[in-house]
Amino acid sequence: MRRLLNKLGTFAMGVETKAQEFHLPLAQITQSRFDCSVRYLTYSGGHALLGLEYDNTAPFLDAVSCQLNLPSVIPSDVQSPWCLTFLSPAATLSQLQRLLNFCAEQHWHIDVIDTLAHRHECTVIRFQFSAELEFSPARFACLQLAEVIGADLVLQEGTSQRVPALAGFDMDSTLIDAEVIDELAKITGIGDQVAAITAAAMRGELDFRDSFKKRMALLKGFSEQRLAEIAKQLPLKDGAQNLLHCLRKLGCKTVILSGGFTYFANFLQRERLAVDLIYANELEFAEGALTGEVIEPIVDGMRKRLLLGETAKEMGVPLEKVVAVGDGANDIPMLNLGALGIAIHPKPKVRREAPQAITLFGLDAALYLFGLNDQQIAELGQPS
């Protein structure tokens, strides 16, 4: 309704919004002086199809144009050595121009372009390209450009653009939109004190094991009954249910690897999320309340990596078919283990060090990095 009212408003002011597909060489896209909304871009064999929405003046007066023909076909097979995925909540021609100029400056030869999502609130365009590059500096350059243009840019090897066989997930602030230990502390009146320790640990400023012991000691006496009430109230991360549901339908095994607690991970597995395995910390109780002690071994960053590797080995899954998803500093070791290490809404240190990062979208945006488009994702969401 809002979109309709906006469109009516533009007519009232004498400005007509038009939607057109332009057929033109890829290099010509960078030459327009007019900005507008991008709906999609496809490119192969030297020929680009660019879908735009604009007011009055067409950005390309000398290009063949026709009505929008939104792409819904299966994306092209990935043949190139590298992929760069552009994810924008409001894609514009100026963003696209900056990205194309950036690729040219880096001497990245674009082979194929597919549009994986073309909703108004989410446009996802995947660039396959050939280049000899060093991953770390190239990834950092992409992060810098992403900040400038207000989008996510995800660099990955072309061979990683496929559905994984095993996916490992952090829980707190990754699958759920909360840090459980902080929520417990708020109830006991020491929320600020514990949250400060948690934040420092997630930023990598404190050793996770030491910070975990300190926080647990402060929670001594917390009742088990209240834990059950809190478990039902934990908010899921946007897109978590959809991502795990789709991965299960695709045959990918999933595992929680958490510095949080099995108590809550088991509840999520039982009631809300399609998870296959759980590794987390055990809570110790005495007379129905927390003792404040920890049960070894503590699941810290290195143990997460170890457990993910051991799980892959036991399942016979090679590391090139393993991905990991997390948000904090203690996730960095496992994020650097397999084919992809996706930091979701990460802290600054994690964004700098994780191989891949998604900051502007929900957890299920990871499906685009596995080579799926919106049509395929929607089909996975349908009942079998």
Query: What letter does residue 69 receive in the DSSP assignment?
Result: -
| Together in a domain, 84 and 139 | yes
Q: What is the pLDDT of residues 185-221, one digit of tens each?
A: 788 787 788 788 877 877 878 788 888 888 888 888 8
Q: Do residues 237 and 374 both lie within one domain? A: yes
Where does the pLDDT of residue 227 fall: very low under 50, low under 70, confident under 90, or very high at 90 and above? confident
Cα–Cα nearest to 214, from 287, 293, 314? 293
Residues 230 and 351 in one domain: yes
- Shared-domain flag, residues 196 and 138: no
How many other CB atoms are found less than 10 A from the CB of residue 296? Answer: 8
Listed range (69-78, 142-151, 280-289) with the worst mean pLDDT: 69-78
Neighbours of 199 (CB within 10 A): 16
Answer yes or no: do 151 and 190 share one domain.
no
Are 43 and 132 part of one and the same domain? Answer: yes
User: Is 114 buried (19+), middle (13-18) or exposed (0-12) by CB count in 10 A?
Assistant: buried
Spatial contact of 331 and 256, defined as CB atoms under 8 Å apart? no
Catalytic sites, residue numbers: 170, 172
Say whether both 233 and 271 belong to one domain: yes
Instruction: State whether 152 and 171 are in the same domain.
Output: no
- Its domain, for residue 139, covers 17-160
| 134 and 220 inside one domain | no
Residue 337 counted as domain residue: yes
Q: Examine the fold and report which residue of 137, 160, 183 is the final residue of a domain before the chain moves on.
A: 160
Q: Among residues 96, 129, 160, which one ends one of the domains?
A: 160
Is 2 part of a structural domain of the chain?
A: no
Statement to judge: residues 238 and 304 lie in one domain: yes
Same domain, 219 and 137: no
Specify the number of domains making up the chain: 2
For residues 235, 275, 168, 203, the Cα torsion angle rounded to the nearest 10 degrees is 20
Nearest residue to 96 via CA among 15, 24, 18: 24
Same domain, 40 and 113: yes
Answer yes or no: is 283 within a domain.
Answer: yes
Residue 16 Cα distances to 55, 57, 58, 60, 379, angstroms: 6, 10, 11, 17, 35
- pLDDT tens digit sequence for 44-93: 988 999 999 999 888 998 899 999 988 877 899 999 999 999 999 999 99
Specify if 147 maps to a domain: yes
Task: With respect to residue 8, please indicate whether it lies within any of the assigned structural domains.
Answer: no
- Among 142, 160, 178, the domain-final residue is 160
pLDDT in tens, 86-120: 999 999 999 999 999 999 999 999 999 999 999 98
**Taking the model in full, what pTM does it have?**
0.91
Which CATH number do you get for residue 62?
A: 3.30.70.260
* 3-state secondary structure labels for all residues of 130-180: ECCCCHHHHHHHHHHHHHHHCCEEEEEEHHHCCCCCEEEECCECCCECCCH
Q: Each residue of 235-276: pLDDT tens digit?
A: 999 999 999 999 999 999 999 999 999 999 999 999 999 999
Report, as an integer, the average pLDDT of 286-310. 93
CATH of the domain at 339: 3.40.50.1000
Residues 6+ apart with CB under 8 A from 2: none
